């Protein structure tokens, strides 16, 4: 957490029509920091993640990655996206490419890594997430947990500066949740900078440096997980925690 600022949002606002979904968001994520974003449905968590790699343009304010403002478009934007990995709830693997091809595509096309080198690295990463034996299969032939681990390996293959995870385990059958969370905990402990939207409080307690709680498009409260879970200070956070911790 003591690292330098990596992702800096300053007075970020975003509307969808008349709906004000991000309200004056100020948030700094430091190198090596793991930030878990919590909040009720519709509070703007996904929009915030999508804004950070410009899948959603913002209305006002600034977002910088490693000191560089988000590019509007073109090659600069492609390069920025390569620096900001994203793992979604729905895996989003390319269905018509093998697991191995899914991982080598970005490095060869965007980073211009030679094919053989990209393959070697991809196999190392698949090994790391425990699915090296699935390299020649197609995504549909894998379990959800395996697909999500491939998605994490694909993000890692670009050597991103930060990885954004938007509810990476929400679409998984319960018995597969832990195999994905274990990979994420290992990444977090290895020093990867991570922004994680999740309802998995166990992950937040184990791996997060900071919990950011959002409601109605605003950051309402932020604290260490230990403090946040035991002493939430706002009524919004208290209500939210009593709902999720009671089932």
Q: Which parts of this chain interact with ligand ATP (CB under 6 A)?
A: 16, 19, 21, 39, 41-47
Q: Which C-beta is closer to Mg ion: that of 46 or that of 148?
A: 46
Q: How many CB atoms lie within 10 A of CB 160?
A: 20
Stretch in the footprint of Mg ion (CB under 5 A) among 24-32, 43-51, 96-104, 170-178:
43-51
DSSP-derived 3-state class of residue 193: coil
Q: How far is the CB of 32 from ligand ATP (least distance, A)?
A: 25
CA–CA gap between residue 59 and residue 56 (Å, rounded): 10
Point out which span in 5-13, 45-53, 151-159, 230-238 binds Mg ion (CB under 5 A).
Answer: 45-53
| Closest CB 92 distance from ligand ATP, rounded Å | 15
Indicate if the alpha-carbon torsion angle 111, 112, 116, 117 is positive or negative. negative
Minimum Å gap between C-beta 53 and Mg ion is 15
For Mg ion, which is the closer residue by CB, 101 or 166?
166
Nearer to Mg ion, 101 or 200 (CB): 200
230-233: long-range contacts (C-beta < 8 A, 24 or more apart)?
none
Nearer to ligand ATP, 50 or 121 (CB): 50
**Binding span for Mg ion by CB under 5 A among 40-48, 74-82, 128-136, 151-159:** 40-48
Residue 15: closest CA among 40, 39, 51, 41: 51
**Residue 221 and residue 183: Cα distance in Å, rounded?**
28
Q: Which does 47 bind (CB under 5 to 8 A by kind): ligand ATP, Mg ion, none?
A: ligand ATP
| Binding track over 211-240 against Mg ion, x by CB under 5 A | ------------------------------
Strands 194-197, 34-38: pairing is parallel
CB of 42 to Mg ion, least distance (A): 8
CB-based burial, 56-87: b 16+ in 10 Å, e otherwise? bebeebebebeeeebeeeeeeeeebbbbbbbb
Q: 3-state DSSP call for residue 88?
A: coil
Report, in Å, the least distance between residue 55 CB and Mg ion.
12
H/E stretch holding 6 reads strand 5-16
Total number of residues binding Mg ion (CB under 5 A)?
A: 1
Q: Which residue has the tokens 């729905």?
A: 90
Which among Mg ion, ligand ATP, none contacts residue 41 (Cβ within 5 to 8 A by kind)? ligand ATP
Q: How far is the CB of 127 from ligand ATP (least distance, A)?
A: 32
Instruction: Select the residue interacting with Mg ion from 46, 169, 193, 198 (CB under 5 A).
Output: 46
Tokens 């994680």 belong to 196
For Mg ion, the binding residues (CB under 5 A) are: 46
């Amino acid at each position: 957490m003591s690292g330098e600022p990596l992702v800096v949002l300053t007075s970020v606002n975003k509307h969808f029509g008349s709906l004000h979904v991000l309200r004056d968001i100020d948030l700094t994520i430091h190198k090596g920091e793991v930030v878990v974003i919590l909040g009720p449905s519709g509070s703007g968590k996904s929009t915030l993640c999508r804004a950070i790699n410009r899948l959603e343009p913002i209305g006002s304010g600034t977002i910088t990655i490693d000191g560089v403002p988000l590019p509007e478009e073109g090659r600069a934007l492609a390069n920025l996206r390569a620096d900001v990995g994203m793992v979604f709830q729905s895996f989003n693997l390319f269905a018509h490419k093998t697991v191995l091809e899914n991982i080598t595509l970005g490095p060869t096309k965007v980073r211009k890594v030679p094919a053989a080198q990209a393959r070697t690295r991809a196999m190392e990463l698949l090994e790391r997430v425990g699915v090296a034996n699935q390299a020649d299969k197609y995504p549909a032939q894998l379990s959800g947990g395996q697909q999500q681990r491939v998605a994490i390996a694909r993000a890692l293959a670009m050597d991103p500066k930060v990885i954004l995870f938007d509810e990476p385990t929400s679409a998984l059958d319960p018995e597969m949740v832990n195999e994905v969370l274990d990979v994420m905990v290992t990444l977090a402990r290895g020093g990867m900078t991570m922004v994680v939207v999740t309802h998995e409080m166990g992950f937040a307690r184990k791996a997060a440096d900071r919990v950011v709680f959002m409601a109605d498009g605003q950051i309402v409260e932020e604290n260490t997980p230990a403090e946040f879970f035991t002493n939430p200070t706002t009524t919004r956070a208290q209500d939210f925690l009593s709902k999720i911790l009671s089932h």
